[in-house]
Amino acid sequence: MPNHAKLNFSLDEYVNRLAKTRRAMIDKNIDCLIVVDPSNMAWLTGYDGWSFYTHQCVIVRHDHEPVWWGRGMDAPGAARTTYLDSANIQQYPDHYVQSTERHPMDHLADLLTEMKLDRGSIGVELENYYFSAAAYLSLQTHLPRATLIDATALVNWQRIIKSAQELSYMRSAARIVELMHARIYEIIEPGLAKNELAAEIFHTGIKGKDEHWGDYPAIMPILPTGLDATAAHLTWDDSKLKPGDITFFEIAGCHKRYHCPLSRTISLGPPPQKYLDAEAAVLDAMHAGLDKAKPGNTCEDIAIAFFDRLETHGFKKDSRTGYSIGLSYPPDWGERTISLRRGDRTELRENMTFHFMPALWLDDGGLEITESVVITETGYESLATVPQKLLVK
Amino acid sequence: MPNHAKLNFSLDEYVNRLAKTRRAMIDKNIDCLIVVDPSNMAWLTGYDGWSFYTHQCVIVRHDHEPVWWGRGMDAPGAARTTYLDSANIQQYPDHYVQSTERHPMDHLADLLTEMKLDRGSIGVELENYYFSAAAYLSLQTHLPRATLIDATALVNWQRIIKSAQELSYMRSAARIVELMHARIYEIIEPGLAKNELAAEIFHTGIKGKDEHWGDYPAIMPILPTGLDATAAHLTWDDSKLKPGDITFFEIAGCHKRYHCPLSRTISLGPPPQKYLDAEAAVLDAMHAGLDKAKPGNTCEDIAIAFFDRLETHGFKKDSRTGYSIGLSYPPDWGERTISLRRGDRTELRENMTFHFMPALWLDDGGLEITESVVITETGYESLATVPQKLLVK
């Protein structure tokens, strides 16, 4: 038996996750599921490591323990971090890595053939950062008798309702993001270089406090100022903050790979009236949206209430205004399942978790005041407590 | 004309890069190249932002300025960070983002059709984190008259010889990684929690010093201790260091997205003889490899000299022992072109840059002492200067 010291969840919880996944496989007539999303690999087996830059997967069948497959030098990491029996940790030789001659998925196809899985239906995550077109073409070529079935986000959808242990980790992440925003507000001032501010954000977020130690977030801190904040995803450079600058901070606390994202905006000195108007509009509309955040309503109910109220203030937003969150690896801390937007009629259920993200990008800057929430039996609860306003210093 | 204030290179340098890319396109009979790799997008246009978690690309043709295409909310980021004319910044609506009903590449296919590019040969980066199987299938379906040609790493290969400005940024990254290792050695001691150490690594790396400000590295710090260091890519938790612990630190300084990776290993107290033997073997073999690092030799010459000398010391390594480095985005700071390994007969040329990575993973821990080097006219130069040994504290 492997050493289970590093598992973040009970074996029972992993067993339940596997059972849910297998039921979803049955619904899609999938005999064997190839899970490449590192978040899904971790959720199913515990596997954790920055090895997703080379091909790897977890093979899920109905009647066997899952099999981890990856690069040889990462197999010891699978032994260290998963509950899997050593017989179920399979590796490929290093000459497959970033080779111009052979693809790691050629090796996986051979393994699947050895496992007599080459004639059935094989689910693959067609839309995933870690399942390239070349990976697909390799499996297609080398498994001519198999039927490849789109299983994009099949596992992600099993993750949308959080367990007590998962929520506990997200609450740790919430404590961390509270510390991060407090530290930003404490030190921000004209003359401070953006990278020095980013350095403090990282330091606070990774150090954490007490048992709430910080893991790396799946998205790096985004902290654009002024015109740069008309764009949604610029990071930082060494420019120095000036009086009057308005900067938004889109950051997350992370604990054991579970995230609590939270954005705030800080104005150095009194903000222009336009930003005060935008603040009032966003907060009013956000609460109109959150009033709909309860079991039985749908995701689009939140979004529509938000969009409609925002329009009464003279602002318009056409991008999605939130998404499901939890366990994640770069490049996205969202779960890539539920979106808070028109058309998403997913029913809200207790212990779903969202980043409600009513960001406004204006013609001369941006305003982000967001909340990460968990759906409760009767409504919602904010995970983190940070003053819900356009902060002024 | 857009504001060019944020460009990290002269317009001339971007013009040269484009010309090299177009020549490579001609060699492969490519009319139009779809560049999704964020490193390639940045190298060609200057584009920078954490937006690669949604689909985006640069469209390169032979007779037009490149076109940036991406999510609407990121278009202002393209205007802020690239040299492109605003007419050449194209966006798709937000309901394509992580939709269960439509794929962003459906939109790109329509755009390519409008641009009359739907009948020619279109190069795509089949093996890339940011070109999913679903992306490929969408283009294949919606561009039935086009010929999709594999252009994996076509642009990456144009990047292997660095310009003076690129080397200058890598030297800044080298200053940063020197500071990071110095800080680790300064504070490491029994009782220190790994996440506190990681927090200091980030703080030092992002703060940098003087003009050498730190950007986020494309791989998060890897700092496994003891048995965890038998695996190649474990990050950290909150466990406390103990006397006798041996930890390797695989980290990089990063400046304007250019990297200087460098690994060192620290023993808290005298290391066992096995590690001293490994240290002696790695250092001797590394120098045997580096003696071959000069123009005219090949990449495999370095690797074979290293492997052969290592074996004389009774150690064996079968994984690649280095790779080309430079500009990069997560999840990999390598350029994914040249590998230092048997069979890679790429000729070494002046101003190529490598992370020479003679790591050994043993049965009870790991030893990493690495160097990042630039090939000079007559040999090589180490980018960073950090004591080249198994450090003991």
Distance between CA atoms of residues A354 and A376, nearest Å: 12
Taking the Cβ of residue A364 and every Cβ of chain B, the question of whether any pair is shorter than 8 Å is answered with no
State the pLDDT confidence band at A318, using cuts at 50, 70 and 90. Answer: confident
**Closest Cβ opposite residue B206 in set A6, A124, A199:** A199
Taking the Cβ of residue B200 and every Cβ of chain A, the question of whether any pair is shorter than 8 Å is answered with yes
Taking the Cβ of residue A134 and every Cβ of chain B, the question of whether any pair is shorter than 8 Å is answered with yes
Distance between CA atoms of residues B194 and B185, nearest Å: 13
Average pLDDT for A229-237: 95
Average pLDDT for A52-59: 98
- In the chain, the amino acid numbered B296 is G
Residues 37-96 of A with CB under 8 A from B: 48-53, 71-81, 93-95
Question: How many CB contacts within 8 angstroms connect chain A with chain B?
Answer: 245
Give the tens place of pLDDT for each residue, B352-376.
999 999 999 888 999 999 999 999 9
Average pLDDT for A93-98: 94
Taking the Cβ of residue B227 and every Cβ of chain A, the question of whether any pair is shorter than 8 Å is answered with yes
Q: What is the overall mean pLDDT for chain A? A: 96
Distance between CA atoms of residues A101 and A370, nearest Å: 47
**Closest Cβ opposite residue B203 in set A53, A94, A203:** A203
Taking the Cβ of residue A129 and every Cβ of chain B, the question of whether any pair is shorter than 8 Å is answered with yes
Whole-model pTM: value is: 0.97
Give the tens place of pLDDT for each residue, A116-140.
999 999 999 999 999 999 999 999 9
Q: What percent of chain B has pLDDT over 70?
A: 99
Q: How confident is the model at residue B6, as a pLDDT?
A: 79
Residues whose CB falls within 8 Å of the CB of residue B12, separated by 6 or more in sequence, listed in order: none
Radius of gyration of chain B from its Cα atoms, rounded to whole angstroms: 22
Whose CA is closest to A166, among A385, A6, A384, A14? A14
Check CB contact under 8 Å for B196 and A211: no
State the pLDDT confidence band at A3, using cuts at 50, 70 and 90. Answer: low
**What stretches of chain B show up as alpha helix (H) in DSSP?**
11-27, 38-45, 75-81, 104-114, 133-142, 154-158, 164-187, 194-207, 273-290, 299-312
- Residues of A whose CB is below 8 A from B73: 231-233, 319, 361
Taking the Cβ of residue B244 and every Cβ of chain A, the question of whether any pair is shorter than 8 Å is answered with no
For residue A228, give the DSSP letter. G
Q: How confident is the model at residue A361, as a pLDDT?
A: 86
- Residues of A whose CB is below 8 A from B101: 343
State the pLDDT confidence band at A100, using cuts at 50, 70 and 90. Answer: confident
Token pair, residue B304, equals 């074979």
Check CB contact under 8 Å for A235 and B48: yes
In A, minimum Cα distance to B219 occurs at A50
Give the tens place of pLDDT for each residue, B93-130.
999 999 988 999 999 999 999 999 999 999 999 999 99
Check CB contact under 8 Å for B213 and A50: no
Please say whether the dihedral angle defined by the alpha carbons of residues A8, B232, B153 and B351, taken in this order, is positive or negative.
Answer: positive
Average pLDDT for A211-224: 98
State the pLDDT confidence band at B5, using cuts at 50, 70 and 90. Answer: low
Taking the Cβ of residue A232 and every Cβ of chain B, the question of whether any pair is shorter than 8 Å is answered with yes
Beta strands in A51-161 (DSSP E): 57-61, 67-71, 89-92, 121-124, 147-150
Average pLDDT for A66-82: 97
Check CB contact under 8 Å for B334 and A98: yes
Token pair, residue A207, equals 């150090």
- Residues of B whose CB is below 8 A from A92: none
Using CA atoms, how far residue A359 sits from A286, A306, A317, A352, in Å, is 10, 11, 8, 21
Q: How confident is the model at residue A1, as a pLDDT?
A: 40
Q: What percent of chain B has pLDDT over 90?
A: 96
- Residues of B whose CB is below 8 A from A51: 232-233
Q: What is the overall mean pLDDT for chain B? A: 96
Give the tens place of pLDDT for each residue, B181-240.
999 999 999 999 999 999 999 999 999 999 999 999 999 999 999 999 999 999 999 999
- In the chain, the amino acid numbered A344 is D
Distance in Å, alpha carbon of B94 to nearest chain A alpha carbon: 5
- Contact yes or no for A214/A208 (Cβ under 8 A): yes
Burial classification of residue A200, based on how many CB atoms lie within 10 Å of its CB (0-12 exposed, 13-18 middle, 19 or more buried): buried
Average pLDDT for B259-273: 98
Angle between helices A38-45 and A11-27 (to 10 degrees): 120
Distance in Å, alpha carbon of A35 to nearest chain B alpha carbon: 14
B321 has pLDDT over 50: yes
Q: How confident is the model at residue B3, as a pLDDT?
A: 54
- Contact yes or no for A232/B51 (Cβ under 8 A): yes
Average pLDDT for B328-352: 97
Residues whose CB falls within 8 Å of the CB of residue A211, separated by 6 or more in sequence, listed in order: A172, B238
Which residue in A52, A55, A126 has the most chain B C-beta atoms within 10 A of its own C-beta, making it the best mutation to test that interface? A126
B1 has pLDDT over 60: no
Distance between CA atoms of residues B70 and B324, nearest Å: 28
Check CB contact under 8 Å for B202 and A202: yes
A227 has pLDDT over 90: yes
Check CB contact under 8 Å for A336 and B98: yes
Which residue in B91, B92, B96, B126 has the most chain A C-beta atoms within 10 A of its own C-beta, making it the best mutation to test that interface? B126
Q: How confident is the model at residue A382, as a pLDDT?
A: 98
Distance between CA atoms of residues A86 and B85, nearest Å: 56
- Residues of B whose CB is below 8 A from A150: 134
A5 has pLDDT over 80: no
**Closest Cβ opposite residue A206 in set B103, B202, B342:** B202
- Contact yes or no for B255/B208 (Cβ under 8 A): yes
- Residues of A whose CB is below 8 A from B332: 53
